[in-house]
Structure 1
Amino acid sequence: MPKMSVGFAMVLLVLGNIVAVLSDALIKNMPTGTAVYQFVLFRQLTAVLMLLPFCLINTKSKLFSHVKWHFVRGHVWLFGAIFMVLSLQALPLATVNAIFYTAPLLMLPLGFLFYRDKLTIPTIAVSIIGFIGIIIVVQPTQISLAAISALIVAVTMATNNLLIRKLPYHHNVVQTLFLTNLMGIPFALSLAIWENQPLDWSPLLTAASSNLFILIYAGICVFVYRTVEAHKISSAEYTGLLGAVVVGIMWFDEVPDMSLVIGSALIILPLVWLAALESVKHKK
């Protein structure tokens, strides 16, 4: 796949994160008591149905060859989806997104562990400052299962983005998204059965709609992280936080407090600086 410019990749990530906020808002708007595992299963199934026609068009590549990393990534994706629903149902939209957007921060140490990506003094400093920002947003004295759930989502998002490098290149973006969702269906079905809730079709439309938005975001992530190193563009992910604040105020009457503003600034601004620093180095 040919390389794209850092600037174009960051524009795509900005658009993707705005779309992702709409998906989060739809999930947050679901009635209290919705069966979580059943809803996640609906999302997996609707994703596969949406993507299947596009996969059938391209019959030249072997869809089910080399699917080991798709299987791993699919279950990480499923794990994150479950905790995403739990956190969105319990926390303000902007707070959840602030925690979600620690994913690019987590990609720095995880990139070192997975691929031995170089950790410089600036990246280490950004990680430390970002960690302080996480503490301010989460507020350990008021920590809850919902906040922990949101942090787990951030870890799965970072892991998923880094695992993209392991995927076979003969699978295009649509096939990658199809396989990611398909691989998780058996386990999602077993969780829905274990949940033992009456079958309720009312969340199906919400599942399909939110899924459409998140598939657009995921597709953009696959596209850009396959072609540009993560540390150069990951700061663009944070633009969605502004969208989350706006949607939270307009849709849910959630006004962010000062701790969210300060903590988010400590997470976002150092990463923006790091991206600018990397961009200058690249030009040299």
Structure 2
Amino acid sequence: MSAYSVALVALILGNLAASLSDVSVKMLNGNVSPFQYMFVRQLVSLLIIFPLWLRQPRQQRQLSNIKTTALRAHLVLIGSGCMLVAITYLPLATANAVFYAAPILMLPLSMWLLKEKPTNNKILATLFGFCGVLIVLRPQHFHWAAGFALVTAFTLALFNILAKRIPAQQTVVTTLMWTSMFSLPIAAILASSNWQPMTFGQAGWIAFSALLILSYNGLAVFAYQKTTANQIALAEYSGLLFVVFFGVIWFDEIPDALTWLGIGMIVLPLLPKIKIFGKRDKKKTYQCQ
């Protein structure tokens, strides 16, 4: 197989893992508090990534830009907690459509934090995508959980923007390890404030979710190292198809025509090699971990 084919398969498998992570969260059915979910997920992530971090040379284990990493760690907590609420009370397709608005939100954030000056085409594409978000949410039928989905999208966007302040020579394993480490103290305090007993099944779903998200991260890094981002970025949107499929077969969630229209409007401006809004830039995906 060519490098392109290998990267494409890896990215699709990564998005399948991320979609199954959402299913794992949905299976909790709101019976685990967001604080407990945040703590257990980050603890499991740390236990998985720590041995990989130790296997690195001493120099690669060093952390750069502690403040940014700590801030990103707490964005993970906020985003994952809000994600739990959104997925619990919204159809998988609706919640994920809003999550995919994160790259759209990155435009105003990059203007504010990075002083970037977007082209008119990018501004037009952002407005078009935001209209898609409004169609998916349909303000006249607005569900309160949609607010949590929007917060998740915002934290994902800010998480990605801040990644530009992390030195390129810092490894992904090191970044993930310290992100998990910094997030644990606050997560532990919040979880212990109102801890409720969990079943082995609930703990298992959370651990499975954490493992799947780490799998996505690893497969995505592998894929983007194999080829250029604009060649395979389209595969990122396989995740939306996966969650729609899982929502139909496991939760009897059938998207209506307006939801499909809104999803299309969100995804279209983000697709590579689409000239409706001008030449596309390279795109790196987001994931709250």
Task: Supply the distance in 1 between the matched residues of 2:146 and 2:280 (Cα, whole angstroms).
Answer: 33
- What TM-score results when the alignment is normalised by the length of structure 2? 0.84
Letter in structure 2 aligned against 1:55: W
Letter in structure 2 aligned against 1:199: P
Letter in structure 2 aligned against 1:155: F
Residue 183 (structure 1) aligns with:
182
Task: Supply the distance in 2 between the matched residues of 1:104 and 1:232 (Cα, whole angstroms).
Answer: 18
- What TM-score results when the alignment is normalised by the length of structure 1? 0.85
- Tell me by how many angstroms 1:218 deviates: 3.4
For residue 58 of structure 2, give the secondary structure of its aligned residue in structure 1.
coil
Residue 162 (structure 2) aligns with:
163
Task: Supply the distance in 2 between the matched residues of 1:275 and 1:112 (Cα, whole angstroms).
Answer: 23
Instruction: Give the conservation status (yes or no) of the 8 Å contact 2:272–2:281.
Output: no
Task: Supply the distance in 1 between the matched residues of 2:223 and 2:160 (Cα, whole angstroms).
Answer: 10
Task: Supply the distance in 2 between the matched residues of 1:7 and 1:106 (Cα, whole angstroms).
Answer: 31
Give the stretch that moved more between structures: 12-21 or 115-124: 12-21
Unaligned residue ranges in structure 2 (runs of 5+): 283-289
Instruction: Give the conservation status (yes or no) of the 8 Å contact 1:164–1:225.
Output: no
Task: Supply the distance in 1 between the matched residues of 2:243 and 2:84 (Cα, whole angstroms).
Answer: 16
Over 3 Å counting, the alpha-carbon distance change for 1:280 and 1:197 in structure 2 is closer
Task: Supply the distance in 1 between the matched residues of 2:55 and 2:21 (Cα, whole angstroms).
Answer: 27
Over 3 Å counting, the alpha-carbon distance change for 1:154 and 1:37 in structure 2 is same
Task: Supply the distance in 2 between the matched residues of 1:78 and 1:149 (Cα, whole angstroms).
Answer: 13
Instruction: Give the conservation status (yes or no) of the 8 Å contact 1:126–1:274.
Output: no
Residue 127 (structure 2) aligns with:
128
Give the stretch that moved more between structures: 183-192 or 25-34: 25-34
For residue 278 of structure 1, give the secondary structure of its aligned residue in structure 2.
coil
Letter in structure 2 aligned against 1:251: W
For residue 198 of structure 1, give the secondary structure of its aligned residue in structure 2.
coil
Task: Supply the distance in 1 between the matched residues of 2:274 and 2:223 (Cα, whole angstroms).
Answer: 15
Task: Supply the distance in 1 between the matched residues of 2:17 and 2:85 (Cα, whole angstroms).
Answer: 20
Residue 137 (structure 2) aligns with:
138
Residue 217 (structure 2) aligns with:
218
Residue 256 (structure 1) aligns with:
255
Q: Does 2:66 correspond to 1:65?
A: no
- Tell me by how many angstroms 1:180 deviates: 1.1
Give the stretch that moved more between structures: 155-164 or 20-29: 155-164
Number of residue pairs matched? 276
User: Following superposition of structure 1 onto structure 2, how do residues 1-284 of structure 1 map, counting pairs within 5 Å?
Assistant: 13-61=11-59, 63-66=61-64, 67-194=66-193, 196-202=194-200, 203-219=202-218, 237-272=236-271, 277-278=278-279
Instruction: Give the conservation status (yes or no) of the 8 Å contact 2:89–2:145.
Output: yes
